[in-house]
Amino acid sequence: MQSIEITHEQEDALKEAVGIAVGRSAKALSELVGARVTLSVPTLRLLEQDKFDEILRESAGAQSVFVTQEFKGHFAGKFGLLFPRASVVMLQQALFEGPANSGAFTRE
């Protein structure tokens, strides 16, 4: 399988799109938990499908949660987010018990 190669401009555009999505996600999470939420910009890695699937299989036994989303249209693909279990537990506590009990968020 051939490797994925993109130009510097294409990489910058992808990072910008991800940055916008992360910002919107932080705003939505903040509204859900009623507290300030700060998310870092994720690392961008372009992978062939088999490598992506390998990482997914390797993380299946770890204490983590892996979320994937497929997209289709002008171009198609799949992206994934890997969350350490502790982060998911903190988010769950903030959503269902309130940020005062989560220890991970600061109230606004």
List, as one string, the DSSP characters of 16-54.
Answer: HHHHHHHHHHHHHHHHHHTEE---PPPPP----HHHHHH
User: Does 1 fall in a domain?
Assistant: no
- Please state the domain count of the chain: 1
Tokens of 94: 């903030």
2 within a domain of the structure (yes/no)? no
Mean confidence (pLDDT) of the chain? 77
pLDDT value, residue 18: 82
Identify the pLDDT of residue 9: 92
CA distance from start to end of the chain: 49
105 burial type by CB count under 10 A (0-12 exposed, 13-18 middle, 19+ buried):
buried
Structure tokens at 55: 């990482």
The domain in which residue 65 lies consists of: 8-107
The answer to whether residue 49 sits within a structural domain is yes
Judged against a pLDDT cut of 50, whether residue 42 lies above it is answered with yes
The region of weakest confidence among 1-5, 14-18, 25-29, 45-49 is 1-5
